[in-house]
């Protein structure tokens, strides 16, 4: 029961961060990393083969060619509302950039999203699609 309360609190915290930014504009870098940390805390327990070290590597841009790693990325991208059921949500991603990114990050990230918006078209597996999007964004 305690873990359900913790999970609900983390999800509510992420939602609150998103909604506060709707009012005040882009997030600070500290807020961006805090939101990412909350998402990581929700997704990491779902994939016990993903250690904190592997998650740190993914955050740094190194995605292992492994189902669990790609599914972990899918979990993060779904929490960010940029993927849903293996589909990249380009317009929602642009909105998340405006909400979650500091102003000096926005142009670069929007350009990367535009370059990668069709990268996972035709990929049937949700985790593979997330891995494809992640890899495309990392290169851009």
The tens digit of pLDDT for each residue in 52-81 reads 999 999 999 999 999 999 999 999 999 989
CA distance 98 to 120: 23
Average pLDDT, the chain: 83
Q: Is 60 exceeded by the pLDDT of residue 18?
A: no
β pairing state of 83-84 and 87-88: antiparallel
Quickly state the pLDDT bin for 7 (edges 50, 70, 90).
very low
Judged against a pLDDT cut of 70, whether residue 12 lies above it is answered with no
CB atoms < 10 A from the CB of 57, how many? 15
CB atoms inside a 10 Å sphere around CB 68: 15
Residue 5 lies in a domain: no
In a domain, 19, yes or no: no
Name the residue range of residue 32's domain. Answer: 27-139
pLDDT score recorded for residue 135: 95
Tally of domains in the chain = 1
Q: Is 10 a domain residue? A: no
CA distances to 4, 5, 52, 118 from 85, in Å: 24, 26, 25, 15
Is 9 a residue whose pLDDT tops 50? no
Which CATH number goes with the domain that contains 35?
1.10.238.20
**Ranges of H-type helices in the chain:** 2-24, 29-43, 52-59, 67-79, 90-100, 103-116, 126-139
Q: What percent of the chain has pLDDT over 90?
A: 62
Asked if residue 14 belongs to a domain, the reply is no
- Going by C-alpha positions, the residue among 91, 75, 50 that lies closest to residue 129 is 75
Q: Within a domain: residue 134?
A: yes
- Cα–Cα distance for residue pair 112/125, rounded to 1 Å: 22
Residue 4 lies in a domain: no
State the pTM of this model.
Answer: 0.76
pLDDT score recorded for residue 100: 77
Q: Is residue 22 part of a domain?
A: no
In a domain, 52, yes or no: yes
131 band by pLDDT with thresholds 50, 70 and 90: very high
What's the pLDDT at 34?
Answer: 84
């Amino acid at each position: 029961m305690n873990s359900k309360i913790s999970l609900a609190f983390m999800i509510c915290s992420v939602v609150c961060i998103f909604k506060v930014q709707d009012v005040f504009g882009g997030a600070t870098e500290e807020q961006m990393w805090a939101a990412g940390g909350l998402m990581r805390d929700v997704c990491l327990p779902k994939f016990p083969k993903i250690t904190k070290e592997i998650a740190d590597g993914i955050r740094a841009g190194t995605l292992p060619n492994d189902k669990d790693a790609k599914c972990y990325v899918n979990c993060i991208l779904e929490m960010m509302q940029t993927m849903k059921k293996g589909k990249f949500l380009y317009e929602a991603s642009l909105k998340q950039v405006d909400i979650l990114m500091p102003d000096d990050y926005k142009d670069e990230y929007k350009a990367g999203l535009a370059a990668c918006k069709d990268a996972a078209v035709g990929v049937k597996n949700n985790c593979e699609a997330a891995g494809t999007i992640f890899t495309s964004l990392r290169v851009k």
